[in-house]
Amino acid sequence: MQGALISCILILSFVSPSLCFKRSNFGVETEESTYNVMNYGANVDGKSDDSNAFLSAWKKACEAEGMQTLVIPKGKVFMLKNLVLKGPCKATKIHIQLLGKIVAPTKDQWGEDKTHLITISKVNSLTIDGGGYIEGNGNTWWETCKKCSRPRLLRFSSCKDLSVSSLHITNSPGAHISINNCEHAKFINMNINAPGNSPNTDGYDISNSKNIVFEDSTISVGDDCIAVNRGCSFIYATRIICGPGHGISIGSLGKTKDYETVEEIHVKNCTFKGTTNGARIKTWEGGSGYVRKITYENIILQDSRNPIIINQHYINKISNNGEKSLQISDVTFQGFEGTCADEKAITLNCNNNGCFNIKLDQINIVSSNPKKKAQASCSNVHGRVGQVIPKVPCMLK
Ligand SMILES: *[C@@H]1O[C@H](CO)[C@@H](O)[C@H](O)[C@H]1NC(C)=O
């Protein structure tokens, strides 16, 4: 019986794939269903809160078995406030098709909780795609609320097997996407965009996560394009165009007394255009833990102000931990080509305890400012220098 059923599905899928989507017709237990937020009371005027419609559709999708799809249709604008999509779900896989546009409230319209526009928590095997938009209306915050805490647009917390692709995320009041406690996540073909002078609008902030991939994306923001924070390992950024922005940064780390670790971060074939930094590792004085096994490879630079920078004195905190900081070791910068904006090409600024096994090779950075000459500076850095322009006479054995 089962064999006959399978061959029936196989034959039908040859003839007409659409028939086989209705697998429930055959009495197979896994159903595939679609939940469109329009059928759950969305207002679509872009002004009144559609969170309840999204939440109802999500609950249906999450609580059904099999593969479920949540559709946010094209050509419509939805306003959300503080939407929390929570798992664990019964569904084995959930697909959110973001085809339309989601907008955040303006600053005055936000309710009590101003932390995140959308939180996705404890959901496994989730795919989000569709070419849609999330617009943060950050301009209503940046001017009047430079120092205060501002909402982030999208937060993934405790998610496994996540795939997010082909979305436009723009003008977040704070960081655009935060990833916390996640494993096996991919962010591909993403476009993140906010003005270069917008305050702390990181593209991605990641912490306590592993096996996270960022690929083929453009990130233009007012802070780090990607910030890798404590507890991260096996993070891969490949073919990312970053700028304006503050680069792809590790840290800042060591702000508190906690033991913090970051390892196996690999940045490859990325471009930094008009960024204040490029490949950056920053740690506070007084912290503890380590940063190790980091590679920045095949990087194209256009007018980056600090294309290669390690700073163990990121913020000079008054602490009784003295010179102690996270240990930095096994860092490779290889295959850098292009221009820095002034004289600073390579800045490796470690504390008295030193950074170890720092490798520089196949680097050619010149200044785009004809009045400046690109230079390298280092303090307390141990490692090796291969073919590098500008010269690095300050590397210790
Ligand atoms: C990186 O770029 C080089 C040179 O363009 C190319 O040969 C290589 O396949 C690229 N690798 C990745 C992972 O994109």
- Domains recognised in the chain with CATH numbers: 17-204 (2.160.20.10), 224-397 (2.160.20.10)
Expressed in angstroms and rounded, the spacing between residue 374 Cα and the centre of ligand 1 is 26
CA atoms of 269 and 97, how far apart (whole Å): 29
Tokens (6 digits) for 206 = 């990641």
Choice among 101-110, 272-281, 316-325, 368-377 with the minimum mean pLDDT: 316-325
Expressed in angstroms and rounded, the spacing between residue 300 Cα and the centre of ligand 1 is 12
The per-residue pLDDT for range 339-382, each reduced to its tens digit, is: 999 999 999 999 989 999 999 999 999 999 999 999 999 999 99
pTM above 0.95, yes or no: no
Residue 31: predicted pLDDT: 57
The per-residue pLDDT for range 189-210, each reduced to its tens digit, is: 999 999 999 999 999 999 999 9
Q: Ligand 1 pocket: which of 236, 269, 270 to mutate (most atoms <8 Å of CB)?
A: 269
Expressed in angstroms and rounded, the spacing between residue 269 Cα and the centre of ligand 1 is 6
Choice among 34-38, 126-130, 243-247, 318-322 with the minimum mean pLDDT: 318-322
- 17 pLDDT higher than 50: no
Ligand 1 and 238: CB distance under 6 A: yes
**297, 335, 364 from 387: Cα distances, Å:** 14, 10, 8
CA atoms of 19 and 126, how far apart (whole Å): 24
Catalytic residue numbers, as ranges: 223, 246
Output phi, psi for 107, to 5 deg.
-50, -45
Q: What is the mean pLDDT of residues 51-56?
A: 97
Q: Whose CA is nearest to atom 11 of ligand 1?
A: 269
Q: Which residues contact 156 (CB under 8 A, 6 or more apart)?
A: 120, 121, 162, 177, 178, 179, 180, 182, 185
pLDDT band at 383 (very low <50, low <70, confident <90, very high): very high
Residue percentage of the chain with pLDDT more than 70: 90
Higher pLDDT, 352 or 269: 269
pLDDT band at 44 (very low <50, low <70, confident <90, very high): confident
CA atoms of 11 and 366, how far apart (whole Å): 62
Whether residue 358 contacts residue 331, with contact meaning beta carbons closer than 8 Å, is answered with yes
pLDDT band at 29 (very low <50, low <70, confident <90, very high): very low
Residue 1: predicted pLDDT: 40
Residue 256: predicted pLDDT: 87
Ligand 1 and 239: CB distance under 6 A: yes
Q: Whose CA is nearest to atom 14 of ligand 1?
A: 269
pLDDT band at 265 (very low <50, low <70, confident <90, very high): very high
DSSP 139: H
pLDDT band at 317 (very low <50, low <70, confident <90, very high): low
Whether residue 154 contacts residue 162, with contact meaning beta carbons closer than 8 Å, is answered with no
CA atoms of 279 and 352, how far apart (whole Å): 22
> Mean pLDDT across the chain, nearest whole number?
91
Expressed in angstroms and rounded, the spacing between residue 267 Cα and the centre of ligand 1 is 12
377: nearest Cα among 359, 395, 365, 360: 395
- 308 pLDDT higher than 50: yes
Round the CA-based radius of gyration of the chain to a whole number and report it. Answer: 24
